[in-house]
Amino acid sequence: MARLSAAGPLSITRLTAGADVTRQAITKHLNILAGAGLIRDIRVGRERLWEVETRQLEEARRCLDRISGQWDEALQRLKLAVEGEEH
Amino acid sequence: MNTSSTDRIEKQVLIKAPRKRVWRALTDTGEFGEWFRVKISGHFAPGKAISGPVLHPGYEHLTWSVTVEKMEPERFFTWRWHPHGIDPGKDYSHEPTTLVAFELEEVPGGTLLKVTESGFDKIPLERREQAFRGNSEGWSIQVGNIERYVSQHP
């Protein structure tokens, strides 16, 4: 994901180069990310390239931020509940 | 492959109380329900599924449901769940879950609680949209809840 963001559209061959995981593992991971709408594949000639779905990625970050905020609130309530009784 | 920045949430909070006390607040269903705002009963146990209604105003029609994975007393507590309120009439069993892990560490002054939720990249985006308790409007209500709690428990 980080490499696709930084380097732009890449083929599976380029993505596999230098990574210490198999092409199969990367393909599986790409399919999961695509299924989640975070990346998409495009065809350039005979090559299949993968690129980041920027809008979707922003959306995903926003969702995560919100869930993250909910954890903050929940943990704050936990802290108050546990520490509150010490006083 | 590295986990992407969209895949996980990591939190930590220092609680001025012994590990034993924090463990109880996490794993006693009554105490847990108080701060997590869910109505659950019974006991958490590895492999066990626990569910109950969400207590957030406006979200009471949703069910909170988790399956406990590991419980290592006063150290480690993990569960899997669907990271959004679920409609009790629907079957979500085939949908991917996220893993929530609570890790307790004794530190000077109390207990450091680390919380990690991971696996979001496998969750369809429209599901992530439905946050697990309430939405952004819900937050102003929550802030109100906290203020009330503080004023009642000085």
Which pLDDT score is estimated for B1? 37
How confident is the model over A34-61, as a mean pLDDT?
Answer: 82
Residue B114, H or E segment: strand B110-118
**What Rg value do the Cα atoms of chain A yield, rounded?**
20
Residue B60 has pLDDT above 90, yes or no: no
The pLDDT of residue A14 is 82
pLDDT reading at B121 higher than 90: no
pTM: 0.71
A73–B142 C-beta distance less than 8 A: yes
Calculate how close chain A gets to B72, using CA atoms only, in Å. 20
Q: For B125, which of A1, A60, A69 is closest by C-beta distance?
A: A60
State residue B86's pLDDT score. Answer: 65
SS3 A52: strand
A16: alpha, beta or left, given left = phi > 0 and alpha = psi -120 to 50? Answer: alpha
Q: What is the pLDDT of residue B139?
A: 39
Task: Decide if A70 contacts A37 (C-beta within 8 A).
Answer: no
Output the average pLDDT for chain A.
82
Q: Would you list the DSSP string of B47-71?
A: T-EEEEEB-STT-TTSEEEEEEEEE
Question: By C-alpha distance, which of B21, B152, B133, B149 is closest to B84?
Answer: B133
